[in-house]
Amino acid sequence: MSGPVSAVRARAAAKINLHLGVGATRDDGYHELCTVYQAISLFDQVAATPSDGWRVDTRAEPYVDRAAVPGVGDNIVTRAGALLAELHDVEPRAELLVEKAIPVAGGLAGGSADAAATLVVLDELWDLQTPRAELLELAVQLGSDVPFALLGGTCHGSGRGEVVEPVHDPGEWWWVVVPHRDGLSTPEVYRHFDDMVPDAAAPASSDGLVRALATGDPRELAACLHNDLQRPAFDLRPALRALIALGESEGALRGLVSGSGPTCVFLCEDESHADTVAEGLRYTGHVTALTATGPAPGPAVDTD
């Protein structure tokens, strides 16, 4: 017989958008999207232990701006805990430790990943056995890309990004990830998109990208990467344009702003090519350059 649970943990994977087609603003203020998400092996870790109250502590890698993490009252993990507790009519009692390796406001959906991991660790800690479909409904309430964060892997996203469907992705893709300590505000980047593209129509189709994924060939994928938020992100943070050019001159197959930025990702041939490109970027740009592979799984609980 197992003893009482002392800690429940889960890894929370960063996401990148391999294709991000942005359409017009809807009546609810969100933009219609056609996107393909991929979870990559850059992980936050969320751990929950039993407690009489509610507490959230955060630790962060040096390249992550810990001061930019919202306080406990405004933190998305608190909202996740409150929604799950409310669904089951239980008190939200736990002590959470969020260890951040995903930059804050970086275009990698780190907060969304933490929220999804929080749902699964608290479901286990509180022994609720919430059906997957109900967790997905909570995820939709938490943010547009939280449903994807719950699934992981590679998914097509539509609506405001919350309608997710796994896509066939047999490849092992290698990325160099260049984070920045200073984040970009997602609403600001979308507003700038509206200024630059006032007559946006239907979001660009991801069909070509989905076909390229199925080949497993990084050169095919490189040719199809697409992000409609890249131009507004370049406009708000001009240094990103030079960074993309630098990564490509170091041999990356293609550089791309991740989501609303400012994180940039560089697709490489394989692991050793990613190591070489990362080393080159560190040498020439004095930047933090990490390597990661995708697709990575969604959060799964680990108990001790």
Please give the residue ranges that form the binding site for ligand C5P (CB under 6 A). Answer: 30-31, 33, 143-144, 160-161, 186-187, 190
Report residue 171 as tokens: 């490849």
Tell me the three state secondary structure of residue 27.
coil
Nearer to ligand C5P, 141 or 215 (CB): 141
Nearer to ligand C5P, 45 or 144 (CB): 144
The amino acid at residue 145 is D
Nearer to ligand C5P, 193 or 234 (CB): 193
CA dihedral 215, 220, 223, 225 (to 10 degrees): 30
CA dihedral 211, 214, 217, 219 (to 10 degrees): 20
Nearer to ligand C5P, 49 or 158 (CB): 158
Report residue 1 as tokens: 């017989």
Active site residues: 15, 145
Report residue 70 as tokens: 């919202």
Residue 254 · residue 222 · CB < 8 Å:
yes
Give alpha helix (H) positions in 64-183: 76-88, 110-125, 132-142, 146-151
Q: What is the dihedral sign for C-alpha 40, 44, 50, 55?
A: negative
Helix axes 132-142, 76-88, angle to 10 degrees: 140
Residue with tokens 């892997």: 153
Residue 255 · residue 138 · CB < 8 Å:
no
